């Protein structure tokens, strides 16, 4: 069996977070079940090659956990997100990509032992990949920081 380096594991975990955001976005827009989307991603996206380049291999266990936890705890995560947003901006008004990002990040913050600062950093990087020119990453950072302080106050 091939040994996976620590750096490779980190890249796989990062890819899984990105895939979870994409999967949650896809679920919202296509009304597909979590099971169906997870299966599609694992079969067709993990490690796939496209004209633009190769997709990173993902950590299937983390990917599945993020998607399932985001679905199973969506009401709790959305309430936590709403409390972190300005009163005039309920989660329903947020861009669907960012909403999916908040749900995946909220799932990891509230349902895992990953340090909140790691979760915030990883998902801010994902926001930067979707919005390289915009201010969205600063917005995402502020909201996730607020969510993390609520979900894991002992970590601060």
Question: For 12-151, CATH number?
Answer: 1.10.940.10
Q: Is 152 exposed, middle or buried (0-12, 13-18, 19+ CB in 10 A)?
A: middle
pTM, two decimals, is: 0.91
Which letter does DSSP use for residue 152 in this model? Answer: -
pLDDT in tens, the chain (156 residues): 567 788 888 988 999 999 999 999 999 999 899 999 999 998 887 776 665 555 678 889 999 999 999 999 999 999 999 999 976 677 878 999 999 999 999 999 999 999 999 999 999 999 999 999 888 999 999 999 999 999 999 988
Please give the pLDDT value at position 51.
59
């Amino acid at each position: 069996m091939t040994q996976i380096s620590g750096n490779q594991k980190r890249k796989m975990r990062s890819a899984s977070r990105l895939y979870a955001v994409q999967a949650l976005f896809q679920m919202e827009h296509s009304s597909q079940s979590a099971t169906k989307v997870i299966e599609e991603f694992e079969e067709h996206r993990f490690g796939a090659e496209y004209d633009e380049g190769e997709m990173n291999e993902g950590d299937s266990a983390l990917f599945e956990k993020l998607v399932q936890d985001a679905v199973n705890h969506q009401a709790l995560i959305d309430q936590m997100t709403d409390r972190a947003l300005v009163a005039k901006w309920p989660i329903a008004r947020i861009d669907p990509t960012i909403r999916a990002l908040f749900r995946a990040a909220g799932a990891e913050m509230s349902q895992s032992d990953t340090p909140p600062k790691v979760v915030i950093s990883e998902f801010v990087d994902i926001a930067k990949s979707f919005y390289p020119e915009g201010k969205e990453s600063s917005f995402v950072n502020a909201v996730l920081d607020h969510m993390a302080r609520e979900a894991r106050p002992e970590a601060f």
